[in-house]
Homo-oligomer: A and B are copies of this chain.
Amino acid sequence: MEVGMEVENKQVIFKGYIERAPLETDMEVKAGNKITQLKVPKGSGAVLLKNLYLSCDPYMRARMREFYGSYLPPFVPGSPIEGLGISKVVDSDDPNFKPGDVVSGFVGWEEYSLLQKANQLRKFQQDDIPLSYHLGLLGMPGFTAYVGFYEVCSPKKGEFVFVSAAAGAVGQIVGQLAKLHGCYVVGSAGTNQKVDLLKNKLGFDEAFNYKEESDLDATLKRYFPEGIDIYFENVGGAMLDAVLLNMRVHGRVAVCGMVTLHSYYDPEGIHNLFALITKRIRMEGFLQSDYLHLFPQFVEQVSSYYKQGKIVYIEDMNEGLESSPAALAGLFTGKNIGKQVVRVARE
């Protein structure tokens, strides 16, 4: 595709603010009404990207509510959804980027994104690791797993680790890092297919389908007769309440996500926080963005694990920008198996 030519730029438009989990109908794919000239004005410092892969992540839901007090601003109704992506530079007026460079960073959910400032883009060298893995294993979710496990959970060899949403983008990596650290690891997921993956592909010691369990407290007592040292919390709600009853003294709960919550105000509530005192539990929320100084060592360590076959990685790839609203909504119903990405264009 030649720089300077005009093209249609299909986009996924955010329709309006919601308080519940997103549905496919909260977004609209619009074609034909946007024309992009594939070049960047001189002196603008801008960068024009062709988007290859888009990342679907649970945190994006937070940007779909009209709330300005969080760490990222809300999406703008009528404008494209924004998220992490892998893109190729088409044209650049920024001396740090040249056409053909492969970058990751925040882009619009569209075929082409014009960034006025490229200062948050990260350029990387392609190697034998698939490009899209830089949205998961070697990207934000992998880094979330890495800092959450090593920095927040303070793990020790031999400890008992429980991971919820364990077949998801973050959970699958947490579980494998915990195994490599010498921990006993159990994961929960919402289908038997995912449970099978956890046990037979991802190397978890045990796994269970929480939808088939009527008493989560009893379930956890079955898998952790001696209790849980570390809970990597991805779901909130009833699972967290059951875990609190099964934590060991000086246990740690790394609070990464609460994907089951239907709103940021949890109407059911958490009822067993008294356990924090009797068991002296530390419960800590975290964001990977507070630990960016560790990103290079994370990439080095996890790439090395991957290349040595010590870590495997499961990705759920949707084809085409048109499929991205369903892909994002599917995160909140557990439709994805592994890290959800969307391929917008072939490299």
| A residues apposed to B, CB below 8 Å | 62, 69-71, 236, 240, 255-258, 261, 264-287, 290
Contacts and interface: CB of A to CB of B under 8 A. Distances in A.
Contacts of A269: 266, 268-271
A267 B268 CA distance: 10
Interface hub of A256, A273, A284, A286 (most chain B Cβ within 10 A): A273
Nearest to A282: B284
10 contacts: A261-B274, A264-B272, A264-B274, A278-B285, A280-B284, A281-B285, A282-B282, A282-B283, A282-B285, A283-B283
Identical chains bound together, number = 2
A285 to B, nearest CB: 3
A43 to B, nearest CB: 37
A285 B276 contact: yes
Contacts of A279: 285
Contacts of A261: 274
A285 B280 contact: yes
Interface hub of A257, A258, A264, A274 (most chain B Cβ within 10 A): A274
A310 to B, nearest CB: 29
A276 B271 contact: no
B290 A274 contact: no
Contacts of A265: 271-272, 274
Nearest to A266: B271
A240 to B, nearest CB: 8
B274 A258 contact: yes
A183 B289 CA distance: 28
Contact of A258 (B69, B71, B273, B283): B273
